[in-house]
Amino acid sequence: MAAAGKFNRSNPAVKRILQEVKEMQSNPSPDFMALPLEEDIFEWQFAILGPRDSEFEGGIYHGRIQLPSDYPFKPPSFMLLTPSGRFEIQKKICLSISNYHPEHWQPSWSVRTALVALIAFMPTNPGGALGSLDYKKEDKRALAIKSRETPPKFGSPERQSVIDEIHEQMLSKAPPIPQLLTIGSEEETNKTAPDTSGEHAVKAAEGVNTSGSSSGSANNTDLPNPESESEVAENIARAQSDVIPRDSGPRVVTAPQNPVVTIQKPKHDRLLTLAAFGLTLAIMALVIKKFFKINGLAGYIEGKF
């Protein structure tokens, strides 16, 4: 950067940002491009390509990143500038990698890591998160086609110059827009696509300082390994899904019912019972016979028995 010399290179945030700029220039990505402003390296302009095999494929989506003065120990804020049907434009969006959720941010993450994660968030269910939209698939596809025509207009001439430069570079490597999906294939995609949403609305955060100053207690942090960025993005997506629990109501716990146990008696037990019953009848007969005999009814008894 031509203007890098005017910044305090001993400042940990400035040192980290300049490292990331150098790394991005030496290892460009085919899926995104990001550049800081010459006058304020804490503000970046970026563009991402819509994720493949989605209604965003082939689209070019511009946005703005604002890094905090104590970066990378605090997360950046994100704003989309290109209409996509997924995020509102010129409004800070709520993601687990943004300043709305500093509890999820890790200093080892970078602008590159955040952009990889942002691409992964594009086709997910918005879930009513702050700054999110949920247009129909055909409307998102139409916006993807339109996004290639001209870059968005935003901010000062310096910002617009960076936006135009990024758009030209991204357009040169963007794949063509796939043909519109049929209704049947869209329904099948809706059935098989996993729900990895988890973004949620929170109270709007205060604006961050863009003066380039930094806390003197911050320490320098090594850049993340580019080879592990896909894994990091997956971890971020999992953290995003943990932001809002999906339970729609209280869990009802029912007490286990005691089973009715029927014990079948063995066969020999039944025989003993019958024998005892017969013996009881015989004893009762002898008692009755003796009773009648004592009372002078012996002849009657002997004639009858």
Q: Which has more confidence, 38 or 275?
A: 38
Specify the pTM: 0.63
Tokens of 178: 């796939």
Query: Confidence class of residue 193 from pLDDT cuts 50, 70 and 90?
Result: very low
Query: Confidence class of residue 4 from pLDDT cuts 50, 70 and 90?
Result: low
SS3 for 149?
coil
Q: What is the pLDDT of residue 230?
A: 56
* CB distance 75 to 97 below 8 Å: yes
Closest CA to 232 of 129, 107, 141, 140: 107
Q: Which of 21, 94, 130, 144 is catalytic?
A: 94
98 catalytic? Reply is no
Q: What is the pLDDT of residue 298?
A: 56
Task: Tell me which architecture the domain covering 4-241 has in CATH.
Answer: Roll (3.10)
Q: pLDDT at residue 229 above 80?
A: no
For residue range 132-190, list pLDDT tens digits in order.
999 999 999 999 999 999 999 999 999 999 999 999 999 998 888 876 543 344 444 45
| Long-range own/partner contacts, residues 123-127 (CB < 8 A, 24 or more apart) | 123/51, 123/54, 123/55, 123/56, 123/193, 124/195, 124/196, 124/197, 124/198, 124/199, 124/237, 124/240, 125/195, 125/196, 125/197, 126/86, 126/197, 126/199, 127/197, 127/198, 127/199, 127/200, 127/244
Q: What is the pLDDT of residue 283?
A: 87
